Structure 1
Amino acid sequence: MCHVEYIIKTNQKEAAYVEDDEKWYVIYTRTGDELKVKRLIELLFCKLKRKSIRVLIPKRAIIERKGKNRVEKIKSLFPGYVFIKTCMSYELYNDIKRLPRFLKFLKDEAEPAEVREEEIKIILSLVGDSDIVGFSTGIKIGGKVKIIDGPLKGFEGLIEKIDKRKGRVKVRLNVSGNANLVDLGIHIVEELDNGEFNKLSEVS
């Protein structure tokens, strides 16, 4: 638990913050530099300065075709996004902004913007303990697919498009007011007359 009051200046206004708990924020960097930024934060702040910062890079597992073979790949769920959970202060804010490869914090009226609790809960429930969104399973019901197992179970309302041929679903996730349409993998099965399931397709 911490209690810090600080002021951050933006081009438009000054914003005063009083933090009583650790909050989630998003650092935006170049796509492909996410892991480098994570390692810098863990080395410079967590290890050397003994700061309490949790760094999260949500990832997704997908299957891609490579010739005749199918290869599992791990890719960033939000390219360019590095999530951090910390008790923000003016000093820490400025130290992070000096990092190599740092571009900016995501912001709303003032910088940095907190990730809303309902948004981070969805992301954390999807990635679980591994920080990776694994595969979900869906049943073909008529012309639709119902998600019955895996990280997407219970989040059918967020699914905007289902591609049964490729075995993928597009899910809309919001982060600090920014809508992100992400592509996730599902295994699709068809219910048989005897109650068993027959796999139709996998991610391709």
Structure 2
Amino acid sequence: MSETAKWYVVHTYSGYENKVAQNIEKVVENRSLQDLIYEVKVPTEKVVEVKDNKTRDIERKIFPGYVLVKMILTDDSWYVVRNIRGVTGFVGTSTKPVPLTEAEVKALGVETVQVEVDYEVGDSVNVVAGPLEGFGGIINEIDIENNRVAVTVSMFGRETPVDLELNQVKKV
């Protein structure tokens, strides 16, 4: 049994994703299981749909028939989620659910990791990771929402603009 909460994928009847998520949240609240089951998500994306020359924004499920649950896997938490109406089982083997890896969680965008930066536009920074590691530069732009920073790096006597992730640079 693991000590840290991990993301698990729960298979549901198609079209019941939101209902299953609500029911899991309700059971967690009623049984005071907040220390075992932390978060329930139905992955969706916003899409602009054009129909009859009219545009409208709709939310579409990315994985129809699946709900993501962040929980500590115990016999109790497994039993509670498994026995919610509309749940057909966990992704994994029939006896042991398989958690998502860190790379999968990051790729799905399930968890947003907030990066705090101690630099601002115009500051001198060193690149600490990636192919340009060891180079120095000056920050032109910071985009926290997209986890990007634009830096002008001096390479071979020329100023070259590069786009990096926020955690790839450190203030000098």
User: CA contact under 8 A between 2:41 and 2:67: conserved in structure 1?
Assistant: yes
Superposition pairs of residues 38-187 of structure 1, within 5 angstroms: 38-45=21-28, 47-52=29-34, 53=37, 54-108=39-93, 111-124=96-109, 128=112
Greater strand content: 1
TM-score relative to the length of structure 1:
0.51
1:35 is aligned to 18
In the aligned structure 2, how far is the partner of 1:117 from the partner of 1:107?
Answer: 16
Residues 152 and 61 of structure 1: is their aligned pair in 2 closer, same or farther, counting only changes over 3 Å?
farther
Secondary structure at the aligned position of 1:51 is classed as: coil
Amino acid in the other structure paired with 1:34: E
Shift of 1:115: 0.6
Q: Which runs of 4+ in 1 moved over 6 A?
A: 151-154
1:20 is aligned to 3
Shift of 1:97: 1.5
Give structure 2 stretches of 5+ with no counterpart.
114-142, 149-172
In the aligned structure 1, how far is the partner of 2:58 from the partner of 2:101?
Answer: 29
Shift of 1:86: 0.8
In the aligned structure 2, how far is the partner of 1:108 from the partner of 1:90?
Answer: 15
Aligned residues with identical type, % of pairs: 24
